[in-house]
Chain A
């Protein structure tokens, strides 16, 4: 929302704060002001000038013009405007003036030095008319009437979503007055509303949706461009000047935050205006020349024939003001905020009106706005007359809310002492009515424009007082609270430890999106229908929530393989699993990958080592592979008898080079993790060791052999260490020899060589019985 400094000055008395400083104060005490920019600074130099003579130049449109500029003497300029003629009073821009980005100088055009220029309204930032130079009624040398240099405040819309009153200059002027001590001026003269019967009947079907609908009918209207001052005011805050009638409705909206609409009375059918839900199938051709298809969720303004406006959003084109309009109906209504917001959202149409209504406007304001509009219409459309009196359909206005405010409670909330007298002064400056209810408690009456949604409880008043005394005036203070260790965040600490381990082992952490595409899901064997689906995805590649980290890790591998020969990455992220009801299950996983473009094969073993770092005693159980896994290089990761993840190489058809992947379920690992270490006495009697080389089939798992040796060797075998494996001559084809070192011991004595020999013999015999041979 843009605010004009000149406008704020009009609405206050004795405002002696320069614009930049006022911008800072507004930011610190009311709402964030993104910037304060000078507007129309050039207008201090621009003046009215009379065209004394016009002399054609060559074949083009340019003419040589001699001007009486008053202030700057007689000047010669070159002008190409079609309306440039002798006797015209226009706007003269002297050399040395900056117009936006460009500096006006003396330029030779068609052989004539042009000492400055005559300017259009668009060039001067007064309106958007660039078809010709301005036509004025003023004495040469005089400043352009009502067009003074200004400053524009850009207040962040987000910062005033809770303040319907700040969507107009008068609301901000009220704040400025409270902040600076200036006096607030009320531009509204309610006595201007004439008594009498309304010529137009208003019928509201649902008073919840339309809280109030006020209207006045006027005749003897002249539609023409607004005076310059009015155009300039609107243009300066980014509103487009259109014609005097529409401009007045916009001016009042920008001043009092009350959106208004003017209908051409002669184009309305029937004597009544209806405020009702749209009927299914009704349409409205709106002012923006778009046709809207309406249904019962949309509130419309209708005449006897059908919708003439989408309530609180936009007017209809068929009943709009046009050059020939002679009689008008001025609407000033208050619509329910959420209804306007829904309609505006449904039709994707945000207007200056809908933005204001959805903040919950003050129903008291409708008639004030009509009174203000009447005054302005009298200025811009001489001879205009009100027909009859006010039409005003409404439910009874709500009583002003009262809040009891204990001053000591307020001080506790702020953490600072504020005297009751000061609280009262601050609130009164903000137009709250304050009485002392009982000692130490104030009874605060909320003004109507703050009562619609913004201020309803005592906490809201803490903000009013706090911001006005200034938060800088509050000394930071450590709270007096019980000191206790916070509840342990076991999962978070565990994830931290996992991250630390992975980084130590050379892995770099990546973060990926929670979204995947259907194609990504299918590529990794998952049915898109098993995924949680985004209703309004940002793109077709982001429609599902990931059920596995793999699709995005795979993308990471492909992308990084363009820059690196070899790398290690990991991610800790959540898999999101659809549930029959309620929220999906979010399971934290750790996925790590080792990539080698040259196809170096140790990635799997590196990842196995990582798994062992994270889970002492975890086992790999090779088994059937998923389609995206290397069929001969895939295994389940088991820990303490539970499957906790997978270790595999990506199927070579998916990418260049080799990529090994470890996927671990951190939730399950956290459950299995236990810290129950207990000391066992160190064995006092020496152990013995012997080596065994088992001959087995080439694909016999070393882990299986080791497990069998352990079974057969129990209880004397204390440890089994893998030494090496070998295949080739003299071993038969299809066989390998796997060598282990077995350590045997007893807790209570040294085993004799006979006893050790017996254990060895038992193992060998047992293995032979299972079909294995030995290299002895």
Chain B
């Protein structure tokens, strides 16, 4: 009798579990069947009235029904939860092709970028990175570099003079002098910076541009060492082996002085309009530091030797990125700057 009731009770509950439409309905079934005052609890009260042998058998049945219902309920609840999670995730569909919110990352000026590369290269080689003023004294810009007044080399550098008698530095070379004044030899330094020449501006000329100066003073510094560093630098800048050649060049603050040419990157040395068919482009002016320059900075040229070089950073940037008009660099035009 009780056995039948239990089986009916179980079947009815199972039927309702199957029919449940939500976690709430399922919970209602659970309370009704398995709750403290639920049907199964009621039935268990009947158990006490049964004879002992009956009681054990029906008791086992009761437990089996209870376990069956609990498991079914649990399984069904999991189904509901999974369904709910699935719906939520589906509802969270997001179009990842939409643009990310502003602001976008900005852009470093191309000169900053190339300059940083060269600074890092030389820092790794033990060179200090020095700086000097943009407004210079005539002494540092010319005299101390072995360019006395009325030296024809002053003509080559059209100078912006200031009404106070100072000038805008025409090259980064005065930082050599400031470096030697500040540090005693041995000394290894580079000095990138802004320089000025009083020139009409066109696609290939600017009155404001950038150079990198370099200098090494030590007990033994030779042309062979200079060539070593120049090759190292050119290869690092262009990230490949570039053919270079050294030929005589005249700069009053070095002796001997050189121009370093490298193979034209456009034609690889075959000759093209960019290199005036020569296959070579001028890259670096360099040489061994003139003893007058060392002496003027208080360094004994019989004890110390040095090399110095100057590199057109602006020119290098233009070559690196294929920029055909120098004026963009100082234009502040974002149509240009956003490309870097």
Q: Residues of A at under 8 Å CB distance from B?
A: 27-32, 34-35, 158-162, 337-338, 341-342, 345, 358-359, 412-416, 457, 459-460, 462-463, 466-467, 471-472, 474-487, 489, 491-492, 496, 499, 502-514, 532-538, 542, 545, 552, 555-556, 559-560, 563-564, 566-571, 574, 576, 578, 583-584, 586, 606
Chain A nearest Cβ from B284, distance in angstroms = 13
For B291-306 the 0/1 string (1 means CB < 8 A from A) is: 1000000000000010
Chain A nearest Cβ from B242, distance in angstroms = 13
Task: Enumerate chain B residues within 8 angstroms of A485, measured Cβ to Cβ.
Answer: 126
Task: Enumerate chain A residues within 8 angstroms of B116, measured Cβ to Cβ.
Answer: 496
Whether a CB of chain A sits under 8 angstroms from the CB of B39 is no
Task: Enumerate chain A residues within 8 angstroms of B334, measured Cβ to Cβ.
Answer: 508, 560, 563-564, 567, 569
Task: Enumerate chain B residues within 8 angstroms of A564, measured Cβ to Cβ.
Answer: 334
A576 to B128, CA, bound (A): 25
A506 touches B105 (CB 8 A): yes
Chain A nearest Cβ from B69, distance in angstroms = 44
A412 touches B220 (CB 8 A): yes
A358 to B252, CA, bound (A): 15
For B85-113 the 0/1 string (1 means CB < 8 A from A) is: 00000000000000000111111110110
A472 touches B245 (CB 8 A): yes
Task: Enumerate chain A residues within 8 angstroms of B149, measured Cβ to Cβ.
Answer: 338
CB nearest to B225 among chain A residues: A479
For B212-253 the 0/1 string (1 means CB < 8 A from A) is: 000010101111110110010000000000000111111010
Question: Contact check: which of B107, B228, B248 meets A478 at CB < 8 Å?
Answer: B228
Show 21 A/B contacts (Cβ-Cβ < 8 Å), sorted by A. A28-B247, A159-B250, A161-B250, A337-B152, A338-B150, A358-B152, A414-B223, A457-B255, A459-B255, A471-B245, A471-B246, A480-B220, A489-B128, A508-B107, A513-B330, A535-B162, A535-B163, A555-B332, A571-B332, A584-B166, A586-B133
Whether a CB of chain A sits under 8 angstroms from the CB of B196 is yes
B135 touches A586 (CB 8 A): yes
Task: Enumerate chain A residues within 8 angstroms of B259, measured Cβ to Cβ.
Answer: 32
Chain B nearest Cβ from A355, distance in angstroms = 9
Question: Contact check: which of A342, A459, A480 meets B150 at CB < 8 Å?
Answer: A342
Whether a CB of chain A sits under 8 angstroms from the CB of B310 is no
B103 touches A514 (CB 8 A): no
Task: Enumerate chain A residues within 8 angstroms of B221, measured Cβ to Cβ.
Answer: 479
CB nearest to A29 among chain B residues: B248
Task: Enumerate chain B residues within 8 angstroms of A508, measured Cβ to Cβ.
Answer: 106-107, 334, 337-338
Whether a CB of chain A sits under 8 angstroms from the CB of B145 is no
Task: Enumerate chain B residues within 8 angstroms of A35, measured Cβ to Cβ.
Answer: 276
Chain B nearest Cβ from A23, distance in angstroms = 10
| With A341-B150, A586-B134: A159-B256 Cβ-Cβ less than 8 Å | no
Task: Enumerate chain A residues within 8 angstroms of B161, measured Cβ to Cβ.
Answer: 534-536
A462 touches B288 (CB 8 A): yes
What are the 3 closest A-B residue pairs judged by CB atoms, nearest first?
Answer: A415-B224, A506-B103, A415-B222
CB nearest to B255 among chain A residues: A459
Pick the most buried of B161, B168, B250, B259: most chain A CB atoms within 10 A of its CB: B250
Chain A nearest Cβ from B10, distance in angstroms = 51
A457 to B255, CA, bound (A): 10
A162 to B102, CA, bound (A): 59
| With A341-B152, A459-B288, A568-B106: A27-B208 Cβ-Cβ less than 8 Å | no
CB nearest to A512 among chain B residues: B332
Task: Enumerate chain B residues within 8 angstroms of A537, measured Cβ to Cβ.
Answer: 160
Chain B nearest Cβ from A349, distance in angstroms = 13
A27 touches B332 (CB 8 A): no
A566 to B334, CA, bound (A): 11
Chain B nearest Cβ from A108, distance in angstroms = 38
Task: Enumerate chain A residues within 8 angstroms of B49, measured Cβ to Cβ.
Answer: none
B223 touches A514 (CB 8 A): no
Task: Enumerate chain B residues within 8 angstroms of A34, measured Cβ to Cβ.
Answer: 276
Whether a CB of chain A sits under 8 angstroms from the CB of B28 is no
A479-B222, A486-B129, A514-B196 known; 20 new pairs, CB 8 Å cut-off, are A341-B152, A359-B152, A412-B222, A463-B257, A477-B222, A478-B225, A485-B126, A489-B131, A499-B108, A510-B332, A510-B337, A513-B330, A545-B135, A545-B168, A560-B332, A564-B334, A569-B332, A583-B133, A584-B133, A584-B166
Task: Enumerate chain A residues within 8 angstroms of B105, measured Cβ to Cβ.
Answer: 503-504, 506
B256 touches A467 (CB 8 A): yes
A532 touches B162 (CB 8 A): yes
A486 touches B248 (CB 8 A): no
**Tier of interface size on chain B:** 35 or more
Whether a CB of chain A sits under 8 angstroms from the CB of B323 is no
| With A471-B247, A510-B337: A576-B332 Cβ-Cβ less than 8 Å | no
Chain A nearest Cβ from B334, distance in angstroms = 5
Task: Enumerate chain A residues within 8 angstroms of B199, measured Cβ to Cβ.
Answer: 538
B255 touches A462 (CB 8 A): yes
A486 touches B127 (CB 8 A): yes
Whether a CB of chain A sits under 8 angstroms from the CB of B53 is no
Task: Enumerate chain B residues within 8 angstroms of A161, measured Cβ to Cβ.
Answer: 152-153, 156, 250
Whether a CB of chain A sits under 8 angstroms from the CB of B333 is yes
A506 touches B194 (CB 8 A): no
B109 touches A509 (CB 8 A): yes
A413 touches B222 (CB 8 A): yes
Task: Enumerate chain A residues within 8 angstroms of B332, measured Cβ to Cβ.
Answer: 510-512, 552, 555-556, 559-560, 569, 571
Whether a CB of chain A sits under 8 angstroms from the CB of B183 is yes
| With A477-B222, A486-B126, A492-B119: A563-B256 Cβ-Cβ less than 8 Å | no
Whether a CB of chain A sits under 8 angstroms from the CB of B37 is no
A511 touches B111 (CB 8 A): yes
CB nearest to B125 among chain A residues: A486
Chain B nearest Cβ from A375, distance in angstroms = 31
Question: Contact check: which of B164, B168, B290 meets A459 at CB < 8 Å?
Answer: B290
CB nearest to A34 among chain B residues: B276
| With A29-B248, A534-B161: A483-B153 Cβ-Cβ less than 8 Å | no
Whether a CB of chain A sits under 8 angstroms from the CB of B186 is yes
CB nearest to B199 among chain A residues: A538
Question: Contact check: which of A31, A358, A570 meets B248 at CB < 8 Å?
Answer: A31
B223 touches A415 (CB 8 A): yes
A555 to B330, CA, bound (A): 12
Task: Enumerate chain B residues within 8 angstroms of A506, measured Cβ to Cβ.
Answer: 102-106
Pick the most buried of A161, A479, A555: most chain B CB atoms within 10 A of its CB: A479
Task: Enumerate chain B residues within 8 angstroms of A457, measured Cβ to Cβ.
Answer: 255, 291
Task: Enumerate chain B residues within 8 angstroms of A342, measured Cβ to Cβ.
Answer: 150
A556 to B207, CA, bound (A): 19
CB nearest to B183 among chain A residues: A487
CB nearest to A28 among chain B residues: B247
A416 touches B119 (CB 8 A): no
A505 touches B256 (CB 8 A): no
For B146-181 the 0/1 string (1 means CB < 8 A from A) is: 000110110110001111101010000000000000
A413 touches B129 (CB 8 A): no
Task: Enumerate chain B residues within 8 angstroms of A534, measured Cβ to Cβ.
Answer: 160-163, 168
Whether a CB of chain A sits under 8 angstroms from the CB of B130 is yes
Task: Enumerate chain B residues within 8 angstroms of A467, measured Cβ to Cβ.
Answer: 247-248, 256
CB nearest to A35 among chain B residues: B276
B218 touches A479 (CB 8 A): yes
A413 touches B276 (CB 8 A): no
Question: Contact check: which of B198, B200, B218 meets A481 at CB < 8 Å?
Answer: B218
Task: Enumerate chain A residues within 8 angstroms of B247, measured Cβ to Cβ.
Answer: 27-29, 32, 467, 471
Question: Contact check: which of B104, B228, B249, B337 meets A159 at CB < 8 Å?
Answer: B249
Task: Enumerate chain A residues within 8 angstroms of B288, measured Cβ to Cβ.
Answer: 413, 459, 462
Task: Enumerate chain B residues within 8 angstroms of A337, measured Cβ to Cβ.
Answer: 150, 152
For B196-211 the 0/1 string (1 means CB < 8 A from A) is: 1011110000011000
Question: Contact check: which of B135, B200, B227, B337 meets A509 at CB < 8 Å?
Answer: B337
Chain B nearest Cβ from A34, distance in angstroms = 7
Question: Contact check: which of A477, A507, A538, A574 meets B198 at CB < 8 Å?
Answer: A538
Whether a CB of chain A sits under 8 angstroms from the CB of B258 is yes
A161 to B257, CA, bound (A): 13
Chain A nearest Cβ from B315, distance in angstroms = 15
A341 to B222, CA, bound (A): 35
A34 to B163, CA, bound (A): 38
